[in-house]
């Protein structure tokens, strides 16, 4: 191959190959990814990287706009090619065994990010309510700064604990934080408003909006194979070297 992208990815894949040589399933996936890397269309690779990114990465910032700004920067780096509007890229990746096409439709992107970023897309606790006072008591009792309760950018008059999801909480604080999250308002109509407002904030970032529109127009369901994940993870690290390492593919 004479594509620079292929050389970059091959070097990354070879590193994974060595690091995971004792894991036979991972070894096989990486070996197959190395075999096909020069056959993968760049737009298809871009699509693969975006899909794996949505399913794998989430912001670390506590505030919603900062978190989505950081995520937008990552996906902006992924969009080195225009996302394809037909399904040829899916057939191409299916032939290469990087994805499996399904008869089921993909979940809409909104549903995925609401679940993955439930600490952002939430109603929260009404300010100055009994629940607010109880949350303060829980934080005081567990030596958690009250500054972690911040204004909810998705819901005026409400506060939220400043995390994207529970994965960002240290084990010793999880019980206390879970108790605080259980104080959140759960009325369906309010949650609908908060989620709608979250999508509006999401769409204010150009790359995130493009990906949402593209994702929701994908004509069929699909599942990434271990080969596809190896390619997507490696390409993501090639484009954004500061992304966290993935030990298992």
Spans of all domains in the chain: 4-60+78-106+218-239, 110-217
Give the residue from 109, 184, 131 showing the smallest Cα distance to 154.
184
In the predicted model, what is the mean pLDDT of residues 174-190?
A: 97
Token output for 178: 């879970």
8-state DSSP, 139: H
Can you give the pLDDT at residue 90? 97
In the predicted model, what is the mean pLDDT of residues 213-228?
A: 96
In the predicted model, what is the mean pLDDT of residues 9-28?
A: 69
On average, the pLDDT of the chain sits at 92
pLDDT digits (tens, 9 = 90+) for 93-137: 999 999 999 988 889 999 999 999 999 999 999 999 999 999 999
pTM: 0.91
Check pLDDT > 80 for residue 8.
no
Those residues whose C-beta lies under 8 Å from the C-beta of residue 244, and which sit 6 or more positions away, are none
């Amino acid at each position: 191959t004479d594509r620079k992208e292929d050389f970059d990815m091959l070097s990354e894949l070879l590193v994974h190959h060595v690091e995971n040589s004792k894991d036979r399933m991972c070894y096989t996936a990486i070996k197959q990814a190395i075999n096909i890397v020069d056959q993968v269309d760049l737009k298809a690779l871009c699509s693969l990287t975006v899909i794996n990114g949505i399913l794998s990465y989430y912001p670390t910032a506590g505030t919603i706009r900062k978190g989505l700004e950081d995520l937008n920067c990552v996906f902006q780096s992924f969009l080195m090619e225009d996302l394809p509007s037909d399904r040829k890229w899916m057939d191409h990746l299916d032939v290469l065994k990087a994805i499996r096409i399904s008869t089921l439709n993909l979940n809409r992107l909104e549903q995925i990010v609401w679940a993955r970023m439930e600490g952002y897309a939430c109603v929260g606790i009404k300010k100055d309510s009994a629940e607010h006072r109880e949350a303060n008591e829980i934080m005081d009792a567990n030596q958690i700064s009250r500054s972690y309760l911040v204004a909810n950018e998705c819901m005026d008059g409400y506060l939220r604990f400043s995390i994207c999801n529970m994965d960002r909480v240290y084990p010793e604080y999880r019980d206390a934080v879970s108790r605080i999250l259980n104080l959140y308002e759960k009325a369906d109509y309010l949650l609908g408003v908060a989620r709608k407002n979250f999508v509006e904030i999401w769409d204010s970032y150009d790359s995130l909006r493009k990906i949402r529109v593209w994702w929701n127009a994908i004509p069929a369901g699909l599942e990434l194979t271990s080969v596809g994940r190896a390619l997507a993870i490696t390409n993501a690290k090639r484009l954004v070297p500061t992304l966290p390492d993935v030990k298992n593919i």
